[in-house]
Amino acid sequence: MIILLGIFFLGLLHTLHTSFFVCDDAFISFRYAQNLAEHGQLTYNPGEAVEGFSNFSWTLLLSLMALLQINLSISALILSAVASLITLGTTYLITRDLLRNGTLTPYPVSGTRFTDFIAFSAPIFLILWAPYTTWTAGGLETMCFTALFALSLRATLNKTPVAAGLLWGLTAITRPEGALFVLIAMGWLGADILRSCWKNKTIKTLLPFTDGVAFLVLLTGSLFLFRWYYYGELLPNTYYAKVWGIPSSFLRLHGLSYIHGFIKTYSLVYFVPILTGLAIILPRLKWELSLLLTLTITWFVYILSTGGDFMAMLRFFVPVLPLLALLLACSAGGFFLMVARRTKNLRIPGLVALLLCLSSGGLLLYRSLVFERASIRYEKRQLGMESVRGMVHYVSDRIKVGRELRRIFPSSITHMSMAVGGAGAISYESRIGRAIDTFGLMDKTIARKKVRPGKFYKPGHLKQASWASLRAQKPHILCSPGIATIGFSPPGARHRKRVLAFFNEYDYFCLRLPLSSDDRGRSRTHYCCIRRKTMATPVGALK
């Protein structure tokens, strides 16, 4: 336990030093949670039932924090840190059990300490992956989903069907893609139980499995029924905004690029010889390894089919990292077994396993530091993703803008409407009455647009509201892409003329604030949007 806590705090210190922030998308869930706590409505805008989030249980958990009047940013960070600790501990326990089952049959006593030591390499590998430590923060459901995924996997491998059904159900209602792994894992467990029933000529072991399936159906079925009753849909609106209507060939192309970026960043080809150690323990763990490898491959196929992600540090790979970490550790255990068969001195196979763990960990650490260094230093995009620095600056600027809007419109902000691209921190911090997300997360019409992508690709941002549709909705303020500007001065005359020629009932206003610095160290000072001409220039804003 002490070793695990040490590993956790080591990873947490690294997170605090490099990427301790709450990303802009987290504020979408915050707004849903706040509205549920304050108005009893699981909506982004009161009275508009659109499911513009895809983390149901996480949002409910945040709404409980809001009901208790606990700051949601702090709550999300603490919950993510706790989930990270649970993931590390569960990864260790899974690896320990697999190594004991796969390598200790010939060495029931003296070999225990060696394989348990090897098992600790799995959580160490985990914190050496930069995506894992980065997304221990972020404020999203990523780490909660990863923890539930790991807990569900352990319950499945331990063949405890009631716990497995309950945990896989929670996993599925935390992220929609969890349903893919529910089918695989519960199918695997069901097949194993049926095999046991056939072998022992009894159905006693089948009864707990039916209870587990009942829990699973109850949780997932309840979500679908609620979604249909409350939102009138079987799938969240985020699916339509991010996947539906986009050519599958285009998504696969960019999903392949995302996977290639992961493989190249971490030089994964060098791990192939180490992973051959799995073949050594395969005869003893054939059933277990088949599940682990199937889940891993399925995750890669899922990323391929959805086109990857735009957020920093390969976020979509975080849930599968515990699997990769424990497979590496099990491979080291395989080589331990191979050498132990040839010598009575267990220190020699222990040394071999240690060298394999050190070489694997060293490579992970080196590649993570190189990858992370560029991401935290520069705003420039990496491998088609945002950098950590870019995301930190983006959300910090929008928090300041949202708070400034609330300050200069103190009495009327809750009765106003605003169009914004990236409906996170600005909408949440400003407390705007109605926010129009131009990317369609909260708009069924935009989300169902069919698009013909060009060279531009940013997952979740291919669909945008047209200027004509925005003008027709007559928002009080427009801070949407192509209209809003951020920089060192107000927008130039050419940009103003182009925008105001279309929005002739609007005029520009600028907020002068201490905003983020660019890569050359120059501080941005102006965030400019347009507002209706009938509105007076707010106090503290520049025309």
CB 163, CB 99: distance < 8 Å? no
Residue whose C-alpha is closest to residue 132's, from 120, 141, 122, 143:
143
Question: Residue 116: what pLDDT?
Answer: 80
Q: What's the whole-number mean pLDDT along residues 453-459?
A: 67
Report CA 525 to chain centroid distance, whole Å.
Answer: 31
Residue 346 confidence (pLDDT) above 90: no
Question: Residue 342: what pLDDT?
Answer: 81
pLDDT digits (tens, 9 = 90+) for 88-143: 999 999 999 988 876 544 444 344 567 788 899 999 999 999 999 999 999 999 99
The residue with tokens 């009631």 is 162
Question: Residue 142: what pLDDT?
Answer: 97
Lowest mean pLDDT among 21-30, 33-42, 102-111, 369-378: 102-111
Backbone angles phi, psi at 421, to 5 degrees: -100, 120
pLDDT digits (tens, 9 = 90+) for 436-445: 999 999 999 9
Residue 297 confidence (pLDDT) above 60: yes
Question: Residue 109: what pLDDT?
Answer: 36
* Six token digits for residue 306: 């959805």
Residue 203 confidence (pLDDT) above 80: no
Share of the chain above pLDDT 70, in %: 95
Backbone angles phi, psi at 507, to 5 degrees: -145, 155
Residue whose C-alpha is closest to residue 430's, from 450, 447, 415, 445:
415
**530: burial class by Cβ within 10 Å (0-12, 13-18, 19+)?**
buried
CB 413, CB 430: distance < 8 Å? yes
- The Cα 85–Cα 201 span in angstroms is 42
In sequence order, the β-bridge partners of residue 512 are: 526
Position 5 confidence tier, pLDDT thresholds 50, 70, 90: confident
Other C-beta atoms closer than 10 Å to the C-beta of 301 total 13
- The Cα 171–Cα 148 span in angstroms is 6
Residue whose C-alpha is closest to residue 329's, from 153, 128, 471, 195:
128
Q: What's the whole-number mean pLDDT along residues 331-353?
A: 82
The residue with tokens 């690896």 is 95
> Which helix (H) or strand (E) covers residue 437, if one does?
strand 434-437
Which residues, 6 or more positions from 455, have their beta carbon under 8 angstroms from its beta carbon? none
CB 316, CB 337: distance < 8 Å? no
Question: Residue 110: what pLDDT?
Answer: 43
**532: burial class by Cβ within 10 Å (0-12, 13-18, 19+)?**
middle
- The Cα 536–Cα 304 span in angstroms is 50
What are the b/e assignments for 252-270, b being 16+ CB within 10 Å?
eebbeebbebbeebbeeee
Return the SS3 of 53.
coil
- The Cα 195–Cα 197 span in angstroms is 5
Return the SS3 of 541.
strand
Residue 264 confidence (pLDDT) above 70: yes
Question: Residue 230: what pLDDT?
Answer: 97
CA 49, 54, 57, 59 torsion-angle sign: negative
pLDDT digits (tens, 9 = 90+) for 222-252: 999 999 999 999 999 999 999 999 888 889 9
203 to 209, 394, 413: CA distances (angstroms): 10, 58, 63
pLDDT digits (tens, 9 = 90+) for 169-189: 999 999 999 998 999 999 999
- Half-sphere exposure of 154 toward its Cβ, with a 13 Å CA cutoff? 19
Which residues, 6 or more positions from 365, have their beta carbon under 8 angstroms from its beta carbon? 128
- The Cα 379–Cα 366 span in angstroms is 22
Residue 456 confidence (pLDDT) above 70: no
Instruction: Give the predicted TM-score (pTM) of the model.
Output: 0.95
Task: Domain ranges for the chain, please list them.
Answer: 2-377, 388-542
- The Cα 438–Cα 423 span in angstroms is 8
- The Cα 134–Cα 11 span in angstroms is 9
- The Cα 7–Cα 285 span in angstroms is 27
CB 148, CB 171: distance < 8 Å? yes
Measure the N-to-C terminal CA separation of the chain; round to a whole number of Å: 60
Report CA 156 to chain centroid distance, whole Å.
Answer: 23
